[in-house]
Structure 1
Amino acid sequence: MKTIIFDQTSLSDVIIIFFTQFNHLAATSLILAFIIYILSKSNRVYLLDFTCFLAPDSDRLPISTFIEHTEFSGKYNTISLDFQRKVVERSGIGNETCLPPGIHFLPFVYSLNATMEEVKTVFSLVKNLMTKHNINPRSIDILITNCSLTSPTPSLASLIINKFGLRSNVKSFNLSGMGCSAGILSISLARDLLKVHKNSLALILSMESMSSNVYQGNVKSMLLANCLFRMGGAGILLSNKK
């Protein structure tokens, strides 16, 4: 580092030296600020839109009906029935919540076909987003799906790719069996991918399926899912395009 000595130097020389050094410092600071701005700007991820699944009125299951069906199923003892009744009544879940058609029947209908029909109804989220924003399915660069309780073959991501005609080279990911955190993990994964792949559009579909996942036992911790989980899903569009 250069040392400036002011011995026997006039005031004008001091001013000249100072401003010479100041110009270099200002230029360096400007370059650094520009680099930081470019780097920070390139990592921005934007939420374009989202939509939530609205089940048909026919899928609504009032609390009283849910309790009645669990009693008539013959799968639970008195303690389990009382426990489920208390949880449902105190959980804040209302009479407008929905369950898939198979759970409306007595006895409950559990099958892979029922599960796939439930999953496919949630695919309407994808159609709604694409129609609303006039998006060509082939313009989707990243596809992420997540469903904790259902992991079919082919995967949910593959079903969407085939149904809506997404590109064969779309970067697709299917997250299953990861619990309630899967939705947040999907957002995190999409953000990381968008930081790497520039000018990309990401579609996230988060859902849950109950058709083949109603617990028929008497372990209280397992019964909570029966009481708290309902039909639902959300579609989210993210992008790093300017």
Structure 2
Amino acid sequence: MMFKKKKKILDNEPNLVKLKYVKLGYHLVSNAMYLILVPLTIVSAHLSIEDFVHLFNSFKLNLMSVIPCTILTVLLAILHFLGRPKQVYLLNLSYYKPEPGLMCSLEAFMERSELRTNKTLAPMGLGLFRQLLTSPKNLCLEEARKEAEMVIFGAVDQLLAKTGVKSKDIGILVLKCTMVVNRYKLRGNISCYNLSGMGCSVGLVSIDLAKRLLQVRPNSYALVVSMESLTMAGNSLTNRSSDHHCSKYQLVHALRTHKGADDRGYNCVFQKEDINNRLGVAFSKDLLPVAGEGLTNNFTTLGPLVLPLSEQILFLVNFIGRKVLKMKIKLYVPDFKLAFEHFCIHAGGRAVLDELEKSLGLSEWHMEPSRMTLCRFGNTSSSSLWYELAYTEAKGRIKKGDRSWQIAFGSGFKCNSVVWRAFRTINSANEKHNPWIDEIDSFPVHVPEVEPIDC
């Protein structure tokens, strides 16, 4: 369903802005140990030896006070460092790319899938079901299982070969099916989580779940499988400090916003039958407003964690001017380009990418990974973000210290963000299994405008 009126994604007011800055204050309090130790260090640097001797003699006269204070300080320091969450690293990631024999033209796909109009699909490169290309078609459960095994095992085999991780060392598995446990003979006490019904945002939901589990389970590996019918990507995460030097990225932030408690959010993307009892996905007129609210809340939560102080001050001043002083000024949207070098926005459709490009003030260069992924592989749902990150790597854009922002949204309605920091410069020449590597020189390509349709 297409709508004639467009609505800006970020035009909604950040309703939780006060709460976000309360959280910012909490972060300062939580780091009080550093706020105390830094002034003490500065003062100590200016004391002479005579001052230290005099101070020591004074302490000797009051040991009953010094000893308890020292013990309390040590205990507080220990509790502070033990209470810090463990760092989580992205050891490596892999992707499945269909063989050339499984590709066909858009016209052939529409003919084989018995579609009657050439306006329902935008021009894009799709990996296809193997049984859809056979004649006669053999659409059965056994063929679907073989298709899934080909895709999943192809990516996981590649990932294990890349990382050198033994299957018995994997303690956490997050995916949509359990065939991986049997294929790779994973250990009996593995924590396996099967996520379904979460739509296009499940990829980042899986990362957030893996992060939370790794922060409470020492020395573990987590295998995250983002699998859809046509494409798939796999990720290996770890909290082992010894893997720091061989990991690609550090997981800096993972934030989730869920609008499912709102009936509009719950019903805006819904699977149901039409008047002819054909099963499909219905998009309501509330989709764009709900998406705007979800994105705004998510961005407002993330802002204080990643934006430079100057941007936070400008936003706060703008908020006070509009809400407190009742000034008629435009909502200030922070410049997220100051916080991130790379953007991976879920390639769900051209209209959504256009709106986010405009709202966030991004350039064509920033949007290139998302647009080229949509052009080459189509809307691959939860795995699209990983093909976008792979595009950035294949282009040789990832430098040491670069920050990448992945943004996903899906039915529910959910909006999720994950922030990665690169541990090293990614040499595209070493990315032999990157799905883009054999054709990256031909991108970017011009994507023609697609005529909107009503249905």
TM-score over 0.5 for the pair: yes
2:104 and 2:231 mapped to 1: Cα distance? Answer: 14
SS at match of 1:141: strand
SS at match of 2:192: strand
Alignment partner, residue 174 of structure 1: 194
Alignment pair present for 1:51 and 2:51:
no
Q: Which of 50, 67, 84 is residue 110 of structure 2 equivalent to?
A: 67
Alignment pair present for 1:207 and 2:251:
no
Which amino acid letter does the alignment assign opposite residue 128 of structure 1? Answer: Q
Which amino acid letter does the alignment assign opposite residue 163 of structure 1? Answer: R
Q: Which of 86, 93, 116 is residue 119 of structure 2 equivalent to?
A: 86
Q: TM-score, normalised by structure 2?
A: 0.36
**Cα displacement (A) at 1:108:** 4.2
Q: Which of 112, 117, 121 is residue 150 of structure 2 equivalent to?
A: 121
2:104 and 2:78 mapped to 1: Cα distance? Answer: 58
**Cα displacement (A) at 1:135:** 1.8
- Per-residue deviation, residues 183-214 of structure 1 (Å, max 9, x unmatched): 122111111111221111101111112xxxxx
Alignment pair present for 1:195 and 2:238:
no
Which amino acid letter does the alignment assign opposite residue 124 of structure 2? Answer: I
Alignment partner, residue 236 of structure 2: 237
SS at match of 1:51: strand
- Per-residue deviation, residues 13-51 of structure 1 (Å, max 9, x unmatched): xx96xx97xx999997786566434432x4211111111
- Per-residue deviation, residues 146-197 of structure 1 (Å, max 9, x unmatched): 2xxxxxxxxx22x211111111111111222322122122111111111221
C-alpha root-mean-square deviation of aligned residues, in Å?
3.0
Superposed counterparts of 1:21-170, under 5 Å: 32=76, 35-40=79-84, 42-70=85-113, 73=114, 81-82=116-117, 85-89=118-122, 93-94=124-125, 97-105=126-134, 108-122=137-151, 123-146=153-176, 156-157=177-178, 159-170=179-190
Runs of 5+ consecutive residues of structure 1 not aligned to the other structure? 1-11, 147-155, 210-230
Q: TM-score, normalised by structure 1?
A: 0.64
Q: Conserved in 2, the CA contact under 8 Å of 1:69 and 1:106?
A: no
1:50 and 1:192 mapped to 2: Cα distance? Answer: 19
SS at match of 2:188: coil
1:182 and 1:108 mapped to 2: Cα distance? Answer: 31
Larger radius of gyration: 1
Query: Which stretch shifts more, 183-192 or 28-37?
Result: 28-37
SS at match of 2:194: strand
2:154 and 2:217 mapped to 1: Cα distance? Answer: 27
Q: Conserved in 1, the CA contact under 8 Å of 2:91 and 2:163?
A: no
Relative distance call for 1:61 and 1:26 in structure 2 (3 A) is farther
**Cα displacement (A) at 1:98:** 0.9
Which amino acid letter does the alignment assign opposite residue 177 of structure 1? Answer: G
**Cα displacement (A) at 1:66:** 1.6
Indicate the percent of aligned positions where both proteins have the same amino acid: 30
Which amino acid letter does the alignment assign opposite residue 154 of structure 2? Answer: S
Number of aligned residues: 181
Alignment partner, residue 333 of structure 2: none
2:112 and 2:185 mapped to 1: Cα distance? Answer: 40
Query: Which stretch shifts more, 112-121 or 129-138?
Result: 129-138
Query: Which stretch shifts more, 51-60 or 104-113?
Result: 104-113
SS at match of 1:235: strand
**Cα displacement (A) at 1:239:** 0.9
